[in-house]
Chains A and B, each alone.
Chain A
Amino acid sequence: DAKTTQPPSMDCAEGRAANLPCNHSTISGNEYVYWYRQIHSQGPQYIIHGLKNNETNEMASLIITEDRKSSTLILPHATLRDTAVYYCIAPNTGTASKLTFGTGTRLQVTL
């Protein structure tokens, strides 16, 4: 797996966009970038993934730099319910790929 680096914590005002960065400078050509989040005491929840192109779904957008060494998860209009720990993961795609969860970024959305 590629090593990922995330800031330990971030704050965001409700209604504003939350931009969560992730550095994955050692990522290889076939490794996707995945984002999960874990709301307090709950199981992790898949958000989005991407390889080269920017991706968007109903939850978030993922912006990947052209050199693929970093990415940004964007929550366009953060709400209090988005307060969670966000994990950026770049697993080795093979059989039974195992997700390695680091400590992630703790996002606090405030009024």
Chain B
Amino acid sequence: NAGVTQTPKFRVLKTGQSMTLLCAQDMNHEYMYWYRQDPGMGLRLIHYSVGEGTTAKGEVPDGYNVSRLKKQNFLLGLESAAPSQTSVYFCASSFIAQGAGINTQYFGPGTRLTVL
């Protein structure tokens, strides 16, 4: 049981390049999330998904797109990378349960992205 995995671990892009970050979970969770964390700051939600085929905007969605074609995968795309998108990106997943279960999120190890 690998939990939440992220690919790649590190990446350097030039301004204007595109890339896709992959998040995979093997816990059969319905909900998945993408966050970014800038140095010295807390995590901010970019996009999230409540199930296969659905996505929704979070706190800082501009410049990113997402897709959830399979329940276990959640992709984050940068169409035209900008230096302001230099950050650490974390994916998380959670299950639907009675009461508070929905907020028990499990995080991946992160992807460190630098845009030059």
The total of chain B residues at the interface (CB under 8 A) is 28
Contact A99:B103 (CB < 8 A) given known A43-B90, A104-B42? yes
Contact A96:B107 (CB < 8 A) given known A44-B43, A104-B42? no
Say what secondary structure dominates the interface of chain A: loop
Q: Which of A34, A96, A100, A103 contacts B31 (CB 8 A)?
A: A96
Q: Is the CB of B103 within 8 A of A49?
A: yes
In the complex, which range does the number of interface residues on chain A fall in?
Answer: 20 to 34
Contact A97:B103 (CB < 8 A) given known A43-B90, A103-B41, A104-B42? yes
Instruction: Please provide the 7 A-B residue pairs with the shortest distance between their CB atoms, ordered closest to farther.
Output: A43-B107, A101-B42, A32-B100, A101-B43, A96-B50, A97-B103, A44-B107
Q: A32-B100, A96-B31 are in contact. List 10 more A-B contacts (CB 8 A).
A: A42-B109, A43-B4, A43-B109, A44-B105, A49-B104, A91-B103, A96-B48, A97-B102, A99-B103, A101-B35
| Chain A residues within CB distance 8 Å of chain B | 32, 34, 41-46, 49, 51, 87, 89, 91, 93, 95-104
| Chain B residues within CB distance 8 Å of chain A | 4, 31, 33, 35, 41-45, 48, 50, 56, 58-59, 88, 90, 92, 99-100, 102-110
